[in-house]
Homo-oligomer: A and B are copies of this chain.
Amino acid sequence: MSTRTPFRLLIACPDRPGIIAHVSSTLAHHGANITAFDQHSEGGDQGMFFMRAEFDLPDAEILFLRQALEALAPAYHMHWRLTPTAYRPRLAIWVSRESHCLTELVGQVESGDIAADIALILGNHEDLKPIADRHDIPFYTVPVDPQNKEASEAIADELMARYAVDTIVLARYMQILTPEFVARYPQRIINIHHSFLPAFIGPRPYHQAYARGVKLIGATAHYVTADLDAGPIIEQDVHRVDHRYGLEDFKRIGRYVERMVLARAVAWHVEERVLVYQNRTVVFPW
């Protein structure tokens, strides 16, 4: 009896009649037993088609399925990716001085709620090194010289390569990356912005929110692009506040919303549930 391995297939291409039929026939032909299947068609005539499938595949068919998809791709201008479900992406968590997002990510990785490994933690300050030590995760202090970000980013590049990092998570890193650095990690850097974007773009959003007298505190996890705080939104959430909440309470509620939103975004990202198109995301959740 042949052994089987679970795989994930992601597809993005211009929408065309027959594409679901063609892809699903191909999967069926190679003996894939589909356990999850999500698709989304975006917009009209020049619309896009997105698909995510999970299936068991007979090991003898892996290579043949790859060949079939390669043969199919050009006709549909199809981007596709076939990943063994068991693959655990490697994360670099970038931090500064605030611990709540880091602690949340470490906890969810350990509990299995985030299906990834933390390869290293990088801090522009060393305040959070004790947390890394406690969990036996390598910690690197890489100070940032505002006049010469390239220097620290070069060190970061070297570390990301050395640790074979798939995704960088800015867990309240508080530094703006150069467009050049960002361009080297497309859709591979996730940031948590501590407001309900696009409200309160820029620094000190809780001060802004408090001064504005909002009734809900939000947070936004998004992919980092060259345009500050304007990258594709992966997840957002809010929590209610009222006049009794002072600025410190806004920050406390904010910490709670931030870490939940960031953890959810990372969990979806590492399971390849997030696809990006024209600065918006398609998210196929659990």
Report which A residues bind B (CB closer than 8 A). 17-18, 20-22, 24-25, 27-28, 31-37, 39-42, 99-100, 103-104, 107, 110-111, 113, 134-135, 196-200, 211-216, 218, 232-233, 235-238, 240, 242-245, 249, 252-253, 255-256, 260, 279-283, 285-286
* Residues on B with beta carbons closer than 8 Å to the beta carbon of A34: 17, 20, 41
The answer on a CB contact under 8 Å between B233 and A214 is yes
* Residues on B with beta carbons closer than 8 Å to the beta carbon of A21: 21, 24-25, 27-28
Question: Please, which residue of chain B has its CB at the minimum distance from the CB of A35?
Answer: B41
Report the separation of the CA atoms of residues A27 and B19 in the bound assembly, to the nearest whole angstrom.
Answer: 11
The answer on a CB contact under 8 Å between A17 and B33 is yes
The answer on a CB contact under 8 Å between B111 and A107 is no
Question: Please, which residue of chain B has its CB at the minimum distance from the CB of A198?
Answer: B199
Report the separation of the CA atoms of residues A197 and B107 in the bound assembly, to the nearest whole angstrom.
Answer: 27
* Residues on B with beta carbons closer than 8 Å to the beta carbon of A281: 213, 243
Max chain B Cβ within 10 angstroms of own Cβ: one of A21, A39, A216, A232:
A21
* Residues on B with beta carbons closer than 8 Å to the beta carbon of A235: 215
The answer on a CB contact under 8 Å between A32 and B20 is no
The answer on a CB contact under 8 Å between A107 and B100 is yes
* Residues on B with beta carbons closer than 8 Å to the beta carbon of A285: 244
The answer on a CB contact under 8 Å between B213 and A232 is yes
Question: Please, which residue of chain B has its CB at the minimum distance from the CB of A237?
Answer: B216
Nearest-neighbour CB distance to chain B for A113, whole angstroms, equals 6
The answer on a CB contact under 8 Å between B216 and A255 is no
Nearest-neighbour CB distance to chain B for A125, whole angstroms, equals 17
The answer on a CB contact under 8 Å between A20 and B17 is no
* Residues on B with beta carbons closer than 8 Å to the beta carbon of A134: 134-135
The answer on a CB contact under 8 Å between B36 and A37 is no
Question: Please, which residue of chain B has its CB at the minimum distance from the CB of A264?
Answer: B256
Offer 28 A-B interface pairs, CB within 8 angstroms, sorted by A.
A17-B28, A17-B32, A18-B24, A20-B20, A20-B37, A21-B21, A21-B24, A21-B25, A34-B41, A100-B107, A103-B110, A113-B256, A134-B135, A196-B216, A197-B212, A211-B279, A212-B279, A212-B280, A215-B235, A215-B236, A216-B237, A238-B238, A242-B283, A243-B280, A243-B281, A244-B286, A253-B286, A260-B260
